[in-house]
């Protein structure tokens, strides 16, 4: 019996610091759910965080989402970048204010390093604005390189 292609378990980080920030995140999630090969499984609470930038800019609203998808990592990246562009994201410059930012944090337990895509996300384990929402929905998820749970990584940064 053929079961068809298997679904991939993916965690995304979402952030916005321009315009109606919560609405921007909801709109991005709507776009993701509208895709035939993506199902939204779980979404974290929203967290307000200061921007990590050398420039003064508005605070971010950050959240994390767990999705199930048939897409490959690069196909998913194409989808997330298209959503960012359609929602007015002009540049991928580091530290730029953004209406929406969608990062692929984890894709199954895969480790990928190409010019376009690094999974797990290079900085996920160093940023509370990623770990706080992620720990809402995946505290027991094990980082495939660091071999530690999201909850442990969050504790390391928080200091308790």
pLDDT means per 10 residues, the chain with 160 residues, are 74 95 97 96 94 79 97 97 90 72 96 95 92 97 97 85
Question: Domain of 84?
Answer: 8-122
pLDDT at site 118:
96
Domain count, the chain: 1
In a domain, 132, yes or no: no
Q: What's the confidence (pLDDT) of residue 117?
A: 95
Q: Is residue 66 one of the residues assigned to a domain?
A: yes
Read off the tokens for 106. Answer: 């984890």
Q: What is the pTM of this model?
A: 0.92
CATH code where residue 100 lies: 3.30.70.560
């Amino acid at each position: 019996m053929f079961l068809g292609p298997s679904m991939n378990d993916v965690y995304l980080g979402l952030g916005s610091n321009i315009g109606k920030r919560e609405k921007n995140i909801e709109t991005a999630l709507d776009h993701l759910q509208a895709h035939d090969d993506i199902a939204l499984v779980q979404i974290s609470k929203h967290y307000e965080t200061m921007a990590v930038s050398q420039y003064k800019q508005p605070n971010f609203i950050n959240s994390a989402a767990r999705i199930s998808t048939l897409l490959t990592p690069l196909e998913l990246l194409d989808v997330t970048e298209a959503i960012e562009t359609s929602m007015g994201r002009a540049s991928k410059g580091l530290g730029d204010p953004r209406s929406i930012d969608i990062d692929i944090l984890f894709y199954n337990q895969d480790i990928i390093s190409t010019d376009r895509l690094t999974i797990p996300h290079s900085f996920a384990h160093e940023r509370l604005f990623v770990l706080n929402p992620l720990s809402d929905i995946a505290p027991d998820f094990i980082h495939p390189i660091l071999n530690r749970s999201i909850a442990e990584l969050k504790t390391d940064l928080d200091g308790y």
